[in-house]
Amino acid sequence: DVKVTQSSRYLVKRTGEKVFLECVQDMDHENMFWYRQDPGLGLRLIYFSYDVKMKEKGDIPEGYSVSREKKERFSLILESASTNQTSMYLCASSSGTPVGEQFFGPGTRLTVL
Amino acid sequence: QKEVEQNSGPLSVPEGAIASLNCTYSDRGSQSFFWYRQYSGKSPELIMSIYSNGDKEDGRFTAQLNKASQYVSLLIRDSQPSDSATYLCAVNRLSNFGNEKLTFGTGTRLTIIP
């Protein structure tokens, strides 16, 4: 079974802090994704990566950056956390094709005070 | 117009009946369509994928695709209380650099009434 793990289940940070969210998958998947999920807005793509050191902006990349130094690990970085980044963050991975058959991690509930 | 639209519900269906979930999409170039199930407090899990017009059946689940009408649906036969969840429709798109990504609908909350 594919396993996608995320570093924290719950996280509380202060406005202006730098925040790192880590995601690791154990199935040698090429593709990795970061989403945020908010009530009424659904799942929205922040960034994605199709290969090591490759990244592409999703639909809402503002205020975020990512890093993929190893195939199994994809990190989401909030350079200066703001209250509007309070959300559930979900990491997902998929094999080469089809890209849309994604496996999700358990999520990180981030609260920015 | 939203790229992927779903009725948010809640949709209530008696146990044993057929639940019908609908989704429309705007990008005529989309080729891949997915249904994810999300239980409360959990992350989404893939339950069906469909790539060509027509029906695809998997157990109690049937996905239906009509590309001409830009419409995809999910039927759940013999609905069980364990089917109570939010169902997310997802459609692939190409990014500006030609890479595939998914766009999700906001989901339909389904409740099966015992």
Tally of helices (H runs) and strands (E runs) in chain B: 0, 11
CA angle B46, B43, B108 (to 5 degrees): 70
Whether the link from the prior residue into B10 is cis, omega within 30° of 0, is yes
CB contact under 8 A, B43 and A107: yes
So what's the pLDDT on residue B25?
A: 96
Say how far residue B95 (Cα) sits from the centre of its chain: 22
User: Is residue A36 a contact partner of residue A87, using CB atoms and an 8 Å limit?
Assistant: yes
Closest CA to B25 of B78, B113, B93, B74: B93
Measured between CB atoms, which of B44, B45, B101 is closest to A58? Answer: B101
Measured between CB atoms, which of B44, B88, B101 is closest to A48? Answer: B101
Q: Tell me: the pLDDT tens digits for B15-59?
A: 999 999 999 999 999 999 999 999 999 999 999 999 999 999 999
User: Is residue A71 a contact partner of residue A57, using CB atoms and an 8 Å limit?
Assistant: no
Measured between CB atoms, which of B32, B99, B106 is closest to A100? Answer: B32
Identify the residue whose tokens are 């080729």: B31
Mean pLDDT, all residues of chain A: 94
Identify the residue whose tokens are 């389904």: B110
User: Is residue B33 a contact partner of residue B91, using CB atoms and an 8 Å limit?
Assistant: yes
Q: What is the helix (H) or strand (E) element at residue A69, kind and residue range?
A: strand A64-70
How is residue A26 annotated by DSSP? S
pLDDT at A44 over 90: yes
Six-digit token pair at B103? 């766009």
pLDDT at B110 over 70: yes
pLDDT at A2 over 70: no
CB contact under 8 A, B46 and A44: no
Q: How far is CA B34 from CA A77, B28, B62, in A?
A: 28, 16, 12
Residue B7 forms contact with A (CB below 8 Å):
no
Most B CBs within 10 Å, among A1, A5, A27, A43, to test the B interface: A43
So what's the pLDDT on residue B2?
A: 79
Task: Map residue B81 onto helix, strand or coil.
Answer: helix
Closest CA to A47 of A72, A81, A76, A70: A76
Six-digit token pair at B43? 């992350």
CB contact under 8 A, A98 and B106: no
Residue B35 forms contact with A (CB below 8 Å):
no
